[in-house]
A and B are shown apart, each in its own frame.
Chain A
Amino acid sequence: MSSILLVDDDVEFCQLLKEFFELEDMEVQFAHDGASGIDAILAGGSDVVVLDIMMPPPNGIEVLKAVRETSTIPIIMLTARGEDVDRIIGLELGADDYLPKPCNPRELLARIRALLRRTQSQSASGGAVLSVDNITLNAANRTINVNGTLIELTSTQFDVLKELMKNAGSVISKEQLTETVLGRKLEPFDRSLDMHVSNIRKVLFRVTGKQYIKTVRNVGYQFIVGVA
């Protein structure tokens, strides 16, 4: 049974969601403010976190920042519709996905399942080790080794990189990447994928000083083999 941690200050909303998720055979825990949210996330025990951005301080963004320093737990954030800034900052800070609130709970469930499927199935399937140049990606324990240094990526970033490395040398369209990694159709003005790729680039650049992922304008992304 999967365990969901809900970080949202609306107690009644949490209770209703708990009931809904329990019907779907999921375990739900709450945290109703940012501070206890951070504690609950770092305490571990949850498979996925649903984090509301709009909370009294520390708000969701601050929680995300604090948590991402040490944890790569899958996080879906709930943003206010129209508040693009929250969404962009959230994705930049390493949230795995976002959903505007109020959202359809079925949609939220689908996103959670997609995220869980990715993280759990891959760790179960094991074995798959991808190696391009001096980057080694181990799907079994979800680790990435660059020149002997272990680097940390969130699960979505990991999956994006894995997909790119699988197809190293060729261009993958944004549509395809969004569908295989995020488990949904690419929508107009959807910048989620770009944010994830930009985060991966930053991490790889910090360790290697090289740009491995190339943007192919109006098409998609390409993992370059043999970067100078």
Chain B
Amino acid sequence: MLRMISFNKLFWKIFFAFWITLILIVVLTAFITDHIVRLGPDSPIASFVLGDAAHKRWRDRRRPPPPKEMRMPMPEDSAERPFRPFKGVRPFFKKPHHRGPPPGLKWLSVIVSLVVTGLMSYFLSAYLVRPIQRVRAATNKLSSGDLSVRVAPTAGERKDELGGLSKDFDKMAARIETMVSSQKRMLRDVSHELRTPLARLQVALELARAKSQNAAKEEFDRIEYESQCLNHLIGQILELVRLEQREWVLTKTSVNIRELIEHIVEDADFEASKQGKKVVLASAIDCTVDINEELIGSSIENIVRNAVTYTAEDTTVEVTLEKISDDGDKIKISVLDHGVGVPNEALPHLFEPFFKVRSKQAKGQTSYGIGLAIAERAVRLHNGDVIAKNNKPNGLVVTIVIPLG
């Protein structure tokens, strides 16, 4: 039982509240009883507390008073009396000598009552707190994205409100799981289905080109371009849905990360040159990492491509690769652009799909699409991290950190 609960605040609150209450009950009862006994059956309180019948029995049972000379001398003078902190109140357990138990037994009864009440409080608080802790742990897991978490398997059969809470939690989690997964399934199915007409559209377009001898070339090219965008977007949505599946199994190979980045930079530089921009690998180390080459490759590509889009004309996107070692060896890939950057308050949302930034400098809205979201999910699958920061004096720097192992 000890290792099953952690002694958190709630545990101690319940424990002490219950324990102190029990101790107070024991102590006060002892004190009041003691007081009444000391006052004797003739006091008006005795008849008030005990009721008439019991009071009468007590008076009748009373032994005849002992002979005068055997009585304890009762000091009349207040100066000779023992010290009493409260007038008319005797120390709690100090019953009159002729009735009380031997003095040692009194301390024993104090210890026994402390231990018994302590144990009871312990079990009670454990009994109350444990299920709450289980639900709490499950809630944490749920909020971090594990929708398959359930409390019932660890909670056992409890029929009370706390058992009900566990069951309600499970019901809620199951419902959320169904809702989210059905939504994802729908997104996936819709995306798949969109491809069927898109595939037909592309063939029909080529037929139109051929039959009209490409009479409206510009318009045909535009239709082709737009349908490619649509296709690309559908592909990205499917990729994101796939990456968010929990049962993903990564197939990793040993990859020379420097070469991978060199290839990406080369390709990106070629495309950027059409817009008067550049991409360079500013510095790099030689290093091999165990990764899924395709996933990490497309992550870096997405981030570099994003940087090329937002960097200002006639500027250069700089990519660096270095090794860092804070708790274990990691590689750090940074992509720096010279654009207007992103408002600080928007930075944490940059990796949400289709996040839009409103900025004064860029005049209007900028959509970051879905590429960064995919990149982030892919890096997370490698237990890595993606961080976006504004660079001084201008631009955005996106950093990927991946453990070497």
Contact with B along A53-84 (1 / 0, CB 8 A): 00000000000000000000000000011101
Contact with B along A1-27 (1 / 0, CB 8 A): 000000000101100110110010000
Closest B residue to A88 by CB, please name it.
B251
Distance, CA A80 to CA B201, complexed state (A): 16
**Inter-chain contact B200/A106, CB cutoff 8 Å:** no
The reply on A104 being an interface residue by CB < 8 A is yes
The reply on A125 being an interface residue by CB < 8 A is no
Distance, CA A84 to CA B267, complexed state (A): 22
Contact with B along A80-113 (1 / 0, CB 8 A): 1110100000000000000011111110000000
Distance, CA A12 to CA B202, complexed state (A): 12
Closest A residue to B264 by CB, please name it.
A188
Residues of A within 8 A of B207 (CB): 16, 19-20, 23
Residues of A within 8 A of B293 (CB): 189
Distance, CA A154 to CA B242, complexed state (A): 32
**Inter-chain contact B297/A102, CB cutoff 8 Å:** no
**Inter-chain contact B199/A81, CB cutoff 8 Å:** no
Distance, CA A103 to CA B202, complexed state (A): 7
Residues of B within 8 A of A23 (CB): 207, 210-211
Residues of B within 8 A of A20 (CB): 203, 206-207, 210
Q: Among the listed stretches B3-11, B41-49, B231-239, which one makes contact with chain A, having 4 or more residues with CB under 8 Å of it?
A: B231-239
The reply on A218 being an interface residue by CB < 8 A is yes
Residues of A within 8 A of B203 (CB): 13, 16-17, 20, 105
Report B380 CB to chain A, min CB distance, Å.
Answer: 18
**Inter-chain contact A189/B298, CB cutoff 8 Å:** yes
Residues of A within 8 A of B297 (CB): 188-189
**Inter-chain contact B298/A218, CB cutoff 8 Å:** no
**Inter-chain contact B235/A81, CB cutoff 8 Å:** yes
Q: Among the listed stretches B168-176, B190-198, B390-398, which one makes contact with chain A, having 4 or more residues with CB under 8 Å of it?
A: B190-198
The residue that B198 contacts in the complex, of A80, A102, A105, A189, with Cβ under 8 A, is: A102
Residues of A within 8 A of B52 (CB): none
Closest B residue to A104 by CB, please name it.
B202
B232-253 at interface with A (beta carbon < 8 Å) = 234-235, 238-239, 242
Closest A residue to B237 by CB, please name it.
A82
Contact with B along A106-123 (1 / 0, CB 8 A): 100000000000000000
Report B7 CB to chain A, min CB distance, Å.
Answer: 49
**Inter-chain contact A80/B294, CB cutoff 8 Å:** no
**Inter-chain contact A218/B235, CB cutoff 8 Å:** no
Distance, CA A152 to CA B39, complexed state (A): 114
Distance, CA A16 to CA B238, complexed state (A): 26
Distance, CA A82 to CA B188, complexed state (A): 12
Contact with B along A151-175 (1 / 0, CB 8 A): 0000000000000000000000000
Distance, CA A103 to CA B199, complexed state (A): 7
**Inter-chain contact B210/A16, CB cutoff 8 Å:** no
Q: A20-B207, A188-B301 are in contact. List 4 more A-B contacts (CB 8 A).
A: A13-B196, A17-B203, A102-B201, A104-B202
Residues of B near any A CB (own CB < 8 A): 192, 195-196, 198-204, 206-207, 210-211, 224, 227, 231, 234-235, 238-239, 242, 256, 259, 263-264, 267, 293-294, 297-298, 301
3 nearest interchain CB pairs? A102-B199, A16-B203, A81-B235
